[in-house]
Structure 1
């Protein structure tokens, strides 16, 4: 007798293309996006703006793209490694030539009436390109390590000169995370960032405790001795470069725009210019502190509703969460981000190949760094860099980039088990044939 398919089997058939994706990860980022719209709305309640509605619309589009990507084979991207890299660099170059300027930088392209920020999509382009390159090459080899840095250098430079210091820092975090996952020496990674750390320590220790900086310089010589060939030469070179840390700092400082310099100065002492550059940080701390344990309630925060915090719907969205949802709401938000990061690492560990694993860890590095820096700057533990809070801050390009990244990672998860079953069947067939 013919039986009508049950509702359970019908639903299973509908969901079968996504039966191996990480639903915890997807539901977490969708929840963050919905909550982001709520938080954005409360910052615009008395201004008649609809950014919160656009946030949800583009979030819905992002979910659709993520689901589509998750059922597509991610390894196809291996064939498009260099076209993606070329498109990434060309889009960043186009910004410099025909892009529009705002907030001290030239970062946007006008496409079909929408302002698009190519540097956001360039993060994903870099992740795909580096993952494809390191898929075939182990970063424990020094020439491969240097080539990977060369791949990163071109888009990083194009972003840095826009100027967009925040995104250029994200590029660095992505590269360091992926090189570490590809078995690069810890010593090489430390030496890579050591001149910047030396410059910061020199500025701090020069008038306080100069031997502290000299200890760091000597330590870098030891790291070079044990991690690089031609020990005397490389150790001496590492010491020399870090001794020049002060000059390196001056060089980097001279390349920054005035507003970027002011942000760094304000981070050290926001009260020195309480009505100017320090105003935003002071108001941000006040808003988060005013939230107390449980918050003042949705749309009840005085700092939020009276618009005391500039850019609260974008880079400083966490201040609205802190004031209106309190310590509990803030910690729950951080907990969801922690869950997202854990799921990304688990997918990276269980991926069927290096390419998928590296892409997952690249997305992890991108999200983790942005969350740490964004929340850190709202509570004055990090300089203001213009880095948005993933899925919560308003920003169409950033939101779509994050969902595209999740879609690719979900594809890595979705095809892991299927590939393993295929290999098991193939091995079983060969054994039968041999018998």
Structure 2
């Protein structure tokens, strides 16, 4: 087992864990925003996370296939129960009902673990579809998309209603690469790509040319929380309350200059500095150098995932890797982008750095899958790699 794990990947995770604990502690020292420190819990979460990662890495894909639908059903059930759960066990946090409150442990967010469930079941759907559909047509490709939508859209609607738009964006960042590499016809991919492009372009035109329609018909159909975040992003000086977190994050990052103020020397108040805006603490105390080191670490982490994806011998393993890569790449870009005002605030955490048990544990589960992918092509499963590779190339080259 030791030789089957990517220890270079684990080293990057350990460095990120060390940085996370350092700056979570630092984020809660100067302002007294919270009554207790989160550092002990975060250390416990990392210990549990590495244990779960190791357990998943010890499995093979046949075992993962067997549990995938059961795990998916469990998470969907927890999401449904969350809708009707009383506030005593599922109190809203920041106007979102997304967590179960577990005594002596903390909160549990089912939507975080839906990432893992989606990844397994969608990859399995695509693999089985391609195995059965020997003659590929537009009808078979559309049927594949319908099957994926039947599985992912209902739970995504539940998460959207919590509301948690940021999590929906993460799901899409994971699912889009999987669909792209599913082997469906390129012409259909072009159409799928054009639809969101046209929608985004239309929204931009409406915003600049028909602002009253944008305000009444588009913003009017969103929740007050979503409207507040959009206005705070587009008009930070007109909506100072909505943009307060973004402006404070920018101030913290900018005040760090090139070399930073030094560890524990953060003096700019930023709400939720230990969670979504952990990057602002790092950049304030360690400056441009510290922020750049963190970005390089994420680059190296994702590079190792890409390395294993390119060595995958089966379409199933390649799909899993592409989904995980898409998820983490978008999550890092979105989180850092919102802390510097480039993107709207969505509540997306910075993976492996932000405080949060559910987010951290679900991400460690995904890293466990990367280890399984590495194990699969290095001969641990004793498959006929030449035969499998030919089959995968035949499907992918459609």
CA deviation map 1:141-163 (0-9, x unaligned): 22212322332211211100111
1:64 matched residue in structure 2: 51
Query: Retained in 2: the 8 A contact 1:74–1:408?
Result: no
- Residue of structure 1 aligned with 2:229, choices 263, 266, 270: 263
Partner SS state of residue 107, structure 2:
strand
CA contact (8 A) 2:4 2:380 kept: no
- Match for residue 396 of structure 2? none
SS at match of 2:152: helix
Closer, same or farther: CA 251–26 of 1 in aligned 2, 3 Å: farther
Aligned pair count reads 368
Deviation at 1:111, TM superposition (A): 3.7
Contact 1:105 1:164 in 2 (8 A): yes
**Deviation of the 1:333 alpha carbon:** 0.4
Structure with higher helix content: 1
Residue 251 of structure 1 deviates from its aligned partner by 6.3
Structure 1, 374-383 or 124-133: larger mean CA deviation: 124-133
Question: Structure 1: any 5+ residue segments left out of the alignment?
Answer: 1-16, 209-245, 428-435
Give the distance between the partners of 1:426 and 1:105, measured in 2 at CA.
Answer: 49
Counting only pairs closer than 5 Å after superposition, residues 109-128 of structure 1 correspond to structure 2 as 109-111=100-102, 113=104, 114-128=106-120
TM-score, normalised on structure 2?
A: 0.86
- Considering Cα pairs closer than 8 Å and 6+ residues apart, tell me whether 1 or 2 has the greater RCO: 2
Partner of 1:364: 325
Secondary structure of the structure 1 residue equivalent to 2:238: helix
Residue of structure 1 in register with 2:262 after alignment: 297
- 1:352–1:416 Cα contact (<8 Å) kept: yes
Give the Cα separation in 1 of the matches to 2:385 and 2:307. Answer: 22
Question: 1:419, CA displacement in angstroms?
Answer: 4.7
Q: How does 1:277-426 map to 2 (within 5 A)?
A: 277-303=242-268, 308-419=269-380, 422-423=383-384
Deviation at 1:130, TM superposition (A): 0.7
CA contact (8 A) 1:315 1:386 kept: yes
Task: Please name the residue that 2:183 is paired with.
Answer: 183
**Aligned partners of 1:152 and 1:175 also within 8 Å:** no
Q: Tell me the residue number matched to 2:121.
A: 129
Q: CA deviation at 1:124?
A: 1.1
2:387 and 2:197 map into 1 onto residues whose CA distance is 49
**Counterpart-to-counterpart distance in 2, 1:106 and 1:251:** 26
TM-score (norm 1): 0.79
Change in Cα spacing, 1:377 to 1:43, as seen in structure 2 (3 Å) is: same
Residues in 1 aligned to 2:359 and 2:279: alpha-carbon distance in whole angstroms:
16
Partners of 2:72 and 2:121 within 8 A in 1 = yes
Whichever of the two has the greater Rg, that structure is 1
Alignment root-mean-square deviation, CA: 2.4
Post-superposition shift, 1:81? Answer: 3.2
Match of 1:142 in 2: 142
